[in-house]
Amino acid sequence: MSTEPCRRWCVLAVLGVVVSMVAGCATLPDPLEVAAGDLLSSGATARLTAEEHGAGHLTSTAASVTVDDATREVAAAARTLAELELTGRRSELRDVLLSEAVTLAGDLHELADAVEAGDDERVAESATELERLDRRLSRLEGRVRSS
Amino acid sequence: MPDRPLPPHPVADGRVLDANIHLLDRAVLDRDGVPVLAVDDVEIDWPDDGGPVLLTSLVLGSGLTSRFFGAHQPRHTRLTVDWREVVDVGSAVQLGADRDDLDATWHERWLRDRVVGRIPGGRHDPR
Amino acid sequence: MNKVFGVALGVLTAIGGFVDIGDLVTNAVVGSRFGMSLAWVVVVGVAGICVFASMSGRVTALSGRATFEIIRERLGPRAALANLVGSFAMTFLTLTAEIGGVALALQLLCGVDPRLLVVPVGLALWVVVWRVRFTVMENAAGLLGLLLVVFLVALVVLAPDWSELGRQAVSGVPSTESPVTYCYYAVALFGAAMTPYEVFFFSSGAVEERWTRRDLGLSRLNVLIGFPLGGLLSLGIAGCAAAVLLPAGVGVASLSQVVLPVATALGVVGLVVVSLGVLAATTGAALETALSCGYALAQYTGRPWGKLVAPIRAPHFHVTVAGVVLVAALLLLTGIDPIMVTEFSVVFSAVALPLTYLPILVVANDPEYVGDRTNGPVLNAVALAYLVVILVAAVAAIPLLVLTRMGA
């Protein structure tokens, strides 16, 4: 292969990446929307985990792994939301989402404890709690999407 | 490369090989059919008195950078196999020697004796 | 009787060996977000890998030459080196994702932090490469990988609304997602189904198993039956996610979510089976990718390679394999998320695919390598159509990755 067409292809490739990066910055997904989606997803995961563990479908090992993973996702979403304040994009919706993130983190902690202790009653309570939260998050996510 | 016209194509008995097509980048096998290395480059003897151009040796496992970037690697640092060792050129270049007797495979012997051979099971034949 | 056994074994290992961490994660992510609306990509990808693998199997069986030897002879050392670097990097990324997957599957089974597991897992993989016979290794991983059939069982037990799944499959972009994201996941799913390492592993493996012209029919059977059934497993994974996770609003971001629908359907037994299946599939793929790194480098430089000979007969090969496993394990020790590595690796698979596809297509038409068994006109037409698809996916992959922030 001669070098000339090769160089032309390289230039084209670099140009393509640069153009798409610029376009990518222009179409950045709204961080609020991403965070709301992540919260909804981890809340739903936790609720599903609590229900399945309560029904005896999940080993406690697998249940605690799932809850851990969900907790990490909540932490990432909370970080995104907190960063919005630093960039001066504070809004009422962001504050509500952040406080729900804290509630969810607390519920996840409670669920993890209950799973570890093997306390079926507390797991069931957690599931009810998470279901309520899930409904709130789902409404919030709808509001974020439409705003 | 010297600034003079290439010599005319030899009309000779036997096979005509194109170094670019039949030699460069071909696999080299030893007398037992075990891969040695690939042909990275060839050394050509180009006499000033206009005598026949001769392919003297194959460069194995060391000539690629100079082929890419065009520099001349000092002869003593090149790992070569004399053309006289070649017994056949087909889809691979066949040597008459044992690969362990070639200079070109010295780092492999070093790696074998100093590292791989010392790990338990390194000499275990999986078959 | 022996022949039937051989065919059955080949087909079963092809099914079990088809799914790796890329298929698991990508299909679950796609199922949980897009339902079955991207199922057509799996079908296209599986047909593509059948075309590609049957061509490269024929080239290997007839010429006895492996992929990278041919690539260097055909493209020259410079273009082949660029090709080697691209394919090697890609395969290494996949290896990292697979080792991460092994650790995550073990975590599901025993609860140990995956970061504590990666080094022992790497060590175990190395011991297998060092000591275990090629066919034993391949058959064990493939047969145990068949446990993933549990995804299909779970889907049946879940008894989803099949007409709804069917409607999703033909409905195009769901209203909740943007078309760009849809395209991004189409490319990722295509990359997951048509991973380049599968092909050069397949062709080098053919040399390791000493294929000849006689085995050609058998190998084609393995590919043409095994891979589509493997693709069915992929669809099962997506279907489970679409049936359980999509309605619940769960977007898959971890392996524990991938297996959740199976637990819902089949309980603890299903969970253990699916975890073991994931463990086997990722272990098998980790071995294949590690070996593929060694194959690619050794074939480019012309050095001896493979597990048919004692390690001392192929020292560079074994040092390469051990080296890549070590570096991949160290990379995972830094705490990077294996799921994210997986998502990267499937997209870059799509980018690297033309590098190996094109030379194989050229050589499959070259009588110097395959004698009178060159591609027929029909196969060539299909293969050329796939070349276009593969090029489009490769060119679109990185812009889509940047444009969608990895599908966020």
Q: Which long-range contacts (CB under 8 A, 24 or more apart) does C208-216 make?
A: C208/C134, C208/C306, C208/C307, C208/C308, C209/C134, C209/C135, C210/C308, C211/C57, C211/C60, C211/C61, C212/C61, C213/C61, C213/C62, C215/C61, C216/C57, C216/C58, C216/C61, C216/C62, C216/C373
| The pLDDT of residue C81 is above 60 | yes
Q: Could you give the CA distance from residue C365 to residue C59 in angstroms, rounded to a whole number? A: 9
Encoded amino acid at C290, one letter: A
Residue numbers of C between 51 and 80 with CB closer than 8 Å to B: 63, 65, 69, 72-73, 76-78, 80
Q: What is the pLDDT of residues C316-327, one digit of tens each?
A: 999 999 999 999
Reduced to 3 states (helix: H, G, I; strand: E, B; else coil), residue C229 is: helix
Higher pLDDT, C216 or C97: C97
- Spatial CB neighbours of B105, under 8 Å, sequence gap ≥ 6: B36, B37, B61, B99
Q: Is residue C371 within 8 angstroms of chain B, CB to CB?
A: no
Q: Residue A45: which of C257, C268, C271 has the nearest Cβ?
A: C257
| Run of H or E including B21 | none
Contact C310, B125 (CB under 8 A): yes
Q: Are C19 and C226 in contact (CB under 8 A)?
A: no
Nearest CA in chain A to C176: A145
Contact A65 C260 (CB under 8 A): no
End-to-end Cα separation, chain C, in angstroms: 53
- C408 occurs within a structural domain: no
- B112 contact residues in C (CB cutoff 8 A): 312, 315
The predicted model gives A69-77 an average pLDDT of: 94
Nearest to A44 among C75, C249, C408 (CB): C249
For residue C224, the enclosing domain spans: 2-403
For residues B24 and B2, the answer to whether their CB atoms sit within 8 Å is no
pLDDT score for A1? 44
**ipTM higher than threshold 0.90:** no
B-chain CB neighbours of C72 within 8 Å are 25, 38
DSSP 8-state assignment for residue C204: H
Which residues, other chains included, contact C104 with Cβ-Cβ below 8 Å and sequence gap of 6+? C114, C254, C255, C256, C278, C338, C339
Q: Are C142 and C14 in contact (CB under 8 A)?
A: yes
How many domains does the structure of chain B reveal? 1
Least confident range of B67-71, C84-88, C226-230, C388-392: B67-71
> Which of C302, C307, C318 is facing B38, going by the closest CB pair?
C302
Q: Is A65 helix (H, G, I), strand (E, B) or coil?
A: helix
Is the pLDDT at C114 greater than 90? The verdict is yes
Considering only B76-85, B110-119, C208-217, which range has the smallest mean pLDDT?
A: C208-217
DSSP symbols for C18-35: H--HHHHHHHHHHHHHHT
CA distances (Å), A2 to each of A12, C76, C79, in order? 17, 11, 10
**If you count residue pairs, one on B and one on C, with CB atoms under 8 Å apart, how many are there?**
86
Nearest-CB residue to C319 (from B38, B91, B115):
B115
Enumerate residues 6+ apart whose C-beta is below 8 A from B71. B65
Those residues whose C-beta lies under 8 Å from the C-beta of residue C300, and which sit 6 or more positions away, are: B38, C68, C69, C71, C72, C80, C81, C84
CATH number at residue B28: 2.30.30.240
The CATH number assigned to the domain holding C251 equals: 1.20.1740.10
Q: Provide the chain C residues 303-342 that lie in CB contact (below 8 A) with chain A.
A: none
Amino acid identity, position C246:
L
Residues of chain C contacting residue A55, judged by C-beta atoms under 8 Å apart: 267
Task: Residue C383: name the closest of C366, C362, C368, C369 by CA.
Answer: C362
Contacts of C394 in chain A (CB under 8 A): none
Q: Is C406 left (phi over 0), alpha (psi -120 to 50) or beta?
A: left
Mean predicted lDDT score pLDDT of chain B = 84
* Residues in Cβ contact with C223 at an 8 Å cutoff, skipping those fewer than 6 apart: C14, C50, C53, C54, C57
Q: Cβ–Cβ of B124/C310 closer than 8 Å?
A: yes
Looking at the predicted structure, is the pLDDT value of residue B39 above 60?
yes
pLDDT of residue B69: 83
Pick from B25, B28, B112: which is nearest to C77 by CB?
A: B25
Query: Residue B61: helix, strand or coil by DSSP?
Result: coil
Residue C19 falls within a domain, yes or no? yes
Residue C195 scores a pLDDT above 90: no
Q: Quote the tokens at residue B75.
A: 């002869």
* Confidence tier at B104 by pLDDT (50, 70, 90): confident
CB C293 within 8 A of CB C320: yes
Query: Is the pLDDT assigned to residue B3 strictly greater than 80?
Result: no
pLDDT at A88 over 90: no
Number of domains in chain C: 1
- Give the C-alpha distances (Å, rounded to integers) separating C196 from A67, B90, C218, C353: 35, 29, 22, 5
Contact (CB<8Å) C310/B123:
yes
Sorting pLDDT into bands at 50, 70 and 90, what band is A3? low
Q: Using CB atoms, which chains have 3+ pairs under 8 A with A?
A: C
Rounded to the nearest 5°, which phi and psi values hold at C332? -70, -25
User: Is residue C231 within 8 Å of C43, Cβ to Cβ?
Assistant: yes
Give the strands of the sheet with B35-45, arranged side by side.
Answer: B80-82, B54-60, B35-45, B27-29, B93-95, B86-89
What pLDDT is stored for residue A13 in this prediction?
A: 77
Mean pLDDT, residues B20-37 taken together: 89
The vertex-C127 CA angle with C123 and C133, nearest 5°, equals: 150
Interchain pair C275, A62: CB under 8 A:
yes
* Residue B60 domain boundaries: 19-118
Position B2 pLDDT exceeds 60? no
* B contacts of C63 (beta carbons < 8 Å): 91
- pLDDT tens for C156-168 read 999 999 999 999 9
Q: Which residues of A29-65 are buried (b: 16+ CB within 10 A; e: fewer)?
A: eebbebbbbbbbbbbbbbbbbbbbbbeebbbebbbbb
Does residue B1 have a pLDDT over 60? no
Check CB contact under 8 Å for C319 and B67.
no
Q: Hey, what's the torsion of the CAs at A42, C232, C38, C98, to 10 degrees?
A: 50
Q: Is C77 on the interface with A (CB under 8 A)?
A: no
Region C142-155 average pLDDT: 95
CB contact under 8 A, A41 and C78: no
Q: Of C16, C30, C88, C102, which is closest to residue C338 (Cα–Cα)?
A: C102
Q: Within a domain: residue B125? A: no
Count of beta carbons in the 10 Å neighbourhood of residue A87: 8
Q: Rounded to a whole number, what is the distance in Å from the CA of C231 to chain B's nearest CA?
A: 33
Distance CA C382, CA B26 (A): 31
Tell me which chain B residue has its CA closest to the CA of residue C319.
Answer: B116
On whether any CB of chain C is under 8 Å from the CB of A28, the answer is: yes
What is the rounded average pLDDT of the residues A3-18? 74
Per residue in A98-130, pLDDT (tens digit) is 999 999 999 999 999 999 998 899 999 999 999
Suggest the residue from A33, A40, A52, A53 to mutate for an interface test with chain C (most C CBs closer than 10 A): A52
Are residues C271 and C262 in contact, defined by beta-carbon separation less than 8 angstroms? Answer: yes
- Extents of the domains making up chain A: 30-146
Query: Is the predicted pLDDT of residue C1 greater than 70, yes or no?
Result: no
Does C247 fall in a domain?
Answer: yes
Q: β-strands B54-60, B86-89: how paired?
A: unpaired
Q: Is the pLDDT of residue B30 over 60?
A: yes
Cα–Cα distance measured from residue C236 to residue C254, given in angstroms and rounded to the nearest whole number: 18
